[in-house]
Amino acid sequence: MDKGFTVGHRVRFHETDAAGVVYFANGLAICHGAYEASLSAVGIDLAQFFSPAELAYPVVRATIDFWQPMRCGDALKVWLQPQRLDGSTFEVEYQIFPDRPGDERPLARALTRHVCIQTQARRRHPLPPEMETWLHRWGDLANK
């Protein structure tokens, strides 16, 4: 995990289901929180980024696999790394780990694919400079 971005998360009660483990959709929400933190960490204003604007980055694909349960109160580390697919598309790989020294077994892995679009025309648009900066900082090219 030399490359990419890592942020902590503590599982809250409302993120769990009747079995006491993280509800599957909330696993993706935890990953999205890490995505937001990684954007903020490169200076992107989240209020502006997620407000109605000329450009948007809808998720067009999302998957998540769980290998171990995550329960209320568990301390987690969420690691992510974006990868450009083309001039307007990127994927973000996420891995969720327990936040315990020496415990590097992944609890879950997710992937989201995003497409930059011009909101009025609903057509693909090249990634703007701030997203290029984000991709370079946390992406697979960050340490090359």
Which residues are part of the catalytic machinery? 17
11 closest CA partner among 3, 25, 19, 21: 21
55-56 sheet: strands from edge to edge? 55-56, 117-118, 123-124
* Contact (Cβ atoms closer than 8 angstroms) between residue 89 and residue 133: no
Which stretches of the chain are assigned E, i.e. beta strand? 5-10, 55-56, 59-66, 75-84, 89-98, 108-115, 117-118, 123-124
Q: What angle do CA 6, 12, 17 make, to 5 degrees?
A: 115
